[in-house]
Amino acid sequence: GQFPGPPLNVTTNWNVVVNVRNALDEPLLLTWHGLQHRKNSWQDGVTGTNCPIPAGWNWTYQFQVKDQVGSFFYSPSALPLHRAAGGYGGIVVNNRDVVPIPFPFPDGGDLTLFIGDWYLRSHKDLRRSLDAGTPLGAPDGVLINGLGPYRYNDSLVPPAIAYERINVEPGRTYRLRVHNVGVSTSLNFRIQGHSLLLVETEGSYTSQQNYSNMDIHVGQSYSFLVTMDQNASTDYYVVASARFVTDPGAVDKLTGVAILHYSNSQGPASGPLPAAPDDQYDTAFSINQARSIRWNVTASGARPNPQGSFHYGDITVTDVYLLQSQPPELIDGQLRSTINGISYIAPSTPLILAQLFNVPGVFKLDFPNHPMNRLPKVDTSVINGTYKGFMEIIFQNNATTVQSYHLDGYAFFVVGDGLWIVD
Ligand SMILES: *[C@@H]1O[C@H](CO)[C@@H](O)[C@H](O)[C@H]1NC(C)=O
Ligand SMILES: *[C@@H]1O[C@H](CO)[C@@H](O)[C@H](O)[C@H]1NC(C)=O
Ligand SMILES: *[C@@H]1O[C@H](CO)[C@@H](O)[C@H](O)[C@H]1NC(C)=O
Ligand SMILES: *[C@@H]1O[C@H](CO)[C@@H](O)[C@H](O)[C@H]1NC(C)=O
Ligand SMILES: *[C@@H]1O[C@H](CO)[C@@H](O)[C@H](O)[C@H]1NC(C)=O
Ligand SMILES: *[C@@H]1O[C@H](CO)[C@@H](O)[C@H](O)[C@H]1NC(C)=O
Ligand SMILES: *[C@@H]1O[C@H](CO)[C@@H](O)[C@H](O)[C@H]1NC(C)=O
Ligand SMILES: *[C@@H]1O[C@H](CO)[C@@H](O)[C@H](O)[C@H]1NC(C)=O
């Protein structure tokens, strides 16, 4: 009965019990983006390790939040495009009282924003379209907490659209947790007249830096401290606008606008929206911005010891995988993206059951560790990782759009990035 879904506000070491009732007419799973489930991978909510919850049934997840603090979110994961229909909510893992956070506790408290692209067609229509070999095409809009744009311009936004209004007190500082829950669109996030002090991303405290705007890609989560330090002569625009869209004329339509309302505000927001980065196609801007984010290695994490006391440089890497994504192409009449030439197909027997009961022929442990230049195919091919090993993964994006990767149940550390040349 709530949208976004109920927030999970928990503290390190808590045991979380979530009873999920599936009132859809198709199977459902929830995945807990970014949370690690090292000892019980079936809590990840991924088909293969967790049986989907059948329509009309319920299932209780139970896991302990350990070794991680920060901002995460949950969303449906059993069938493609479920998330396009909603079903997501925020996860906050707080520090224990004995562990200090590396900034003064924000006196305004927490605010959570979900930004994402939106299609008017239902998730089933979208799925049917892909299954019939037709690309999804451009989304129809960008939502903020499920609501459409404030009417900042009469000719661009139709009347009577419900929009999100964020109520704040002047002078206070808020921790704003922003998640891109969309299907495929990178969004630039900004607030008119206010700086975003980045303090945390994906459960790691960062070196604190001010940004006037931030590119947030699908699946990413950021915490900013925002101080209500402007005069309240007006309300202010909160904007999430599409990046790297193929049709530049679509950007106006793909702009989500919410309202930041001071309790003593004198009037509605006015003026032009705060400017997006100059060049819609400037991927270098986005990459350089990502590179400007540094881990604060002297800040605490889930434990009092600084995050930097782990010596990642000394880790023995056991497996190296080069994963190359290719643009979708028709395989057996369906439009499918591939990694190293393989498009995963879920078997009817879940992977973990096949492994537990030694059922032969369900999956192959032969996922190649580099692109093979073979004809693309669908297969149930699985990476043979080394138990307790440390894997280095190189993602090469040979598709024509931005790709996000989500490693269910694992945390990982970016050690490098760059452009590569296709010869
Ligand atoms: C989350 O929990 C913490 C600690 O229990 C509490 O201080 C805080 O007010 C809660 N936040 C929200 C948004 O409920
Ligand atoms: C289903 O929900 C009911 C009512 O909340 C609860 O008693 C029961 O334990 C749940 N079953 C499972 C498998 O989670
Ligand atoms: C890093 O964390 C430390 C410890 O909490 C804090 O004092 C310092 O201000 C932080 N540095 C930056 C650049 O954010
Ligand atoms: C509204 O948008 C249109 C189309 O981009 C533009 O021509 C017009 O100047 C805008 N109006 C205002 C008041 O900004
Ligand atoms: C960030 O911006 C705010 C307000 O503009 C300012 O008060 C603060 O000192 C800045 N912090 C840093 C670390 O630059
Ligand atoms: C409030 O700030 C705006 C923008 O900086 C400025 O134009 C306006 O004059 C200010 N109003 C008051 C009452 O200080
Ligand atoms: C998977 O890797 C282990 C060693 O880590 C090896 O013993 C085993 O033969 C491999 N399995 C397959 C099917 O290649
Ligand atoms: C990567 O994409 C380019 C452009 O689509 C294509 O020409 C090239 O063959 C691809 N490289 C590989 C290794 O598939």
For the segment 315-343, what is each residue's pLDDT rounded down to a tens digit? 889 999 999 999 988 898 888 899 999 99
Q: Could you tell me if 151 and 282 lie in one domain?
A: yes
- Nearest ligand, CA 174: 1
Q: Kindly give the number of the ligand 7 atom that is closest to the alpha carbon of 384.
A: 1
Q: Which of 165, 129, 135, 128 is nearest to 147 (CA)?
A: 165
Q: Kindly give the number of the ligand 5 atom that is closest to the alpha carbon of 208.
A: 13
Q: Is residue 419 part of a domain?
A: no
Half-sphere exposure of 225 (CA within 13 A, CB side): 22
Q: Could you tell me if 56 and 137 lie in one domain?
A: no
CATH code: domain of residue 77: 2.60.40.420
Share of the chain above pLDDT 70, in %: 97
Number of domains in the chain: 3
Residue 233 Cβ contacting ligand 6 at under 6 Å: yes
Which residue, by CA, sits nearest to atom 7 of ligand 4? 155
Q: Could you tell me if 128 and 224 lie in one domain?
A: yes
pLDDT on residue 189: 98
Q: How far is the CA of 40 from the centre of ligand 1 (A)?
A: 27
Q: Is residue 254 part of a domain?
A: yes
Q: Which of 67, 94, 121 is the last residue of a domain?
A: 94
Q: Could you tell me if 336 and 286 lie in one domain?
A: no
Q: Could you tell me if 149 and 284 lie in one domain?
A: yes
Q: How far is the CA of 153 from the centre of ligand 4 (A)?
A: 6
Q: Could you tell me if 310 and 226 lie in one domain?
A: no
Give residue ranges with CB within 6 A of ligand 4: 153, 155-156
- Nearest ligand, CA 107: 1
Render pLDDT for 84-121 as a digit per residue (tens, 0 to 9).
Answer: 999 999 999 999 999 999 999 999 999 999 999 999 99
Q: Is residue 404 part of a domain?
A: no
Q: Hey, which of 150, 155, 237 would you mutate to test ligand 4's pocket, going by the most ligand atoms within 8 Å of its Cβ?
A: 155
Q: Could you tell me if 149 and 252 lie in one domain?
A: yes
Q: Is residue 284 part of a domain?
A: yes
Render pLDDT for 26-66 as a digit per residue (tens, 0 to 9).
Answer: 999 999 987 877 667 778 888 888 889 999 999 999 999 98
Q: Could you tell me if 56 and 194 lie in one domain?
A: no
Q: Could you tell me if 37 and 136 lie in one domain?
A: no
Q: Could you tell me if 117 and 256 lie in one domain?
A: yes
Mean pLDDT, rounded, for 251-257: 95
Q: How far is the CA of 384 from the centre of ligand 7 (A)?
A: 6
Q: Kindly give the number of the ligand 6 atom that is closest to the alpha carbon of 231.
A: 1
Q: Is residue 385 part of a domain?
A: yes
Render pLDDT for 208-238 as a digit per residue (tens, 0 to 9).
Answer: 999 999 999 999 999 999 999 999 999 999 9
Q: Could you tell me if 204 and 342 lie in one domain?
A: no
Structural domain including 42 reads 5-94
Q: Could you tell me if 344 and 314 lie in one domain?
A: yes
